[in-house]
Amino acid sequence: MTLTAIPPNDVATNSAEGPSDRGPRTRSGWLPAAYLTVPLLVLVCLFLVPMAILALISVGMGINGAESIWSVDAYTSLITDPLYLEIAKTTVIIATSAMLIQLVVGVPLAYVMAFKAGRFEIPLLLGLVVLDELNPVVRIYAWRMLLGRNGILNGALESLGIIDQPIDALLFNKAAVIVVLSTGWITYTIIPLYASMKAIDPRLFQAAQDLGAGWWTIARRILLPLAAPGIFIAILLVYIPLFTDFAAPSLVGGTSSYMLGQAVNDLILEQGDLARGSALSLMLLALSGVLAVIAFRLSRINRLET
């Protein structure tokens, strides 16, 4: 075996190129951190700092020169007050009902758009997007015109001879709030479901049918588990904001549909009770975090056991 000597010039060249090659790689190591600096600063300034101020106000930090009295009375008064417990119960009922209605409507519609619509798929998707572009307050007032005592629905029923006098129960109750919230947020429910279902191979459904599976088995064992990430996103985008909505309950709800979002608005803007308003806001934020964790855990289910 013969050994070939490497010329000194080549050795010097290789040694000189080594550090220069490693230099750019070393410098590029901090680039991802540099790219993340601005978003992190924005997050800290626009989210974490306001949350910290809100937390300080909730425990008694003085505003505009007022004396600071540090206590957790704002939290204990909200938790022990039967009125706010009843408001929380009403909020859970309305928000859960609206979310379930949206899922019942959204899952089949997203399935049709993803697998059955054909050339109408894109027009349906664009229609949902355009529908959401309408101002939310305008949509709420449109529902008032539809469901009101002198509204379109009562007028149509009277003209058909079905009723003799207008039905007042169509508006200013829990049902009206649920309907308005369901229709107002349906776009944010359908689009994540649609995006999740588009990633499913339709041949899985055909294979299940060939093996004798019915539509309920296919939906339960294939469709819903694979669409779970879309359901998780829909819950984050829709179910959590439903707890803080105050426009729809204020405009189409009555005293029986008073929600926590309205309570925060009234505490801060009408009563000037910043401590309890901030405390209630933080409690809603904590509840949102719990719901997000639960939804995330459920979304990781890849298949359902029989």
pLDDT digits (tens, 9 = 90+) for 13-32: 454 444 444 555 555 567 77
pLDDT digits (tens, 9 = 90+) for 280-305: 999 988 888 888 787 777 666 544 44
Residue 15 pLDDT: 47
Residue 107 pLDDT: 93
Provide the 3-class DSSP secondary structure of residue 51: helix
Residue 8 pLDDT: 52
pLDDT digits (tens, 9 = 90+) for 118-157: 889 999 888 888 888 888 888 999 999 998 888 898 889 8
pLDDT grade for 189, boundaries at 50, 70 and 90: very high
pLDDT value at 219 more than 50: yes
Round to whole Å and give the CA distance between 186 and 192: 11
DSSP 45: I
Percent of the chain with pLDDT over 90: 32
Round to whole Å and give the CA distance between 159 and 63: 58
pLDDT digits (tens, 9 = 90+) for 40-85: 888 788 888 888 888 888 887 766 555 667 788 889 999 999 999 9
Residue 24 pLDDT: 52
* Residues 86, 172 contacting (CB under 8 angstroms): no
Residue 110 pLDDT: 94
Residue 68 pLDDT: 65
* Residues 233, 102 contacting (CB under 8 angstroms): no
pLDDT value at 35 more than 60: yes
Round to whole Å and give the CA distance between 226 and 219: 10
Residue 306 pLDDT: 39
pLDDT value at 162 more than 80: yes
Residue located via tokens 């049709």? 112
Q: What is the mean pLDDT of the chain?
A: 83
pLDDT grade for 164, boundaries at 50, 70 and 90: confident
Q: If you average pLDDT over residues 182-196, what whole number do you get? A: 92
Q: What radius of gyration, in Å, describes the C-alpha atoms of the chain? A: 28
Distances (CA, A) of 119 to 127, 193, 196: 14, 19, 19
pLDDT value at 190 more than 80: yes
Round to whole Å and give the CA distance between 267 and 264: 5
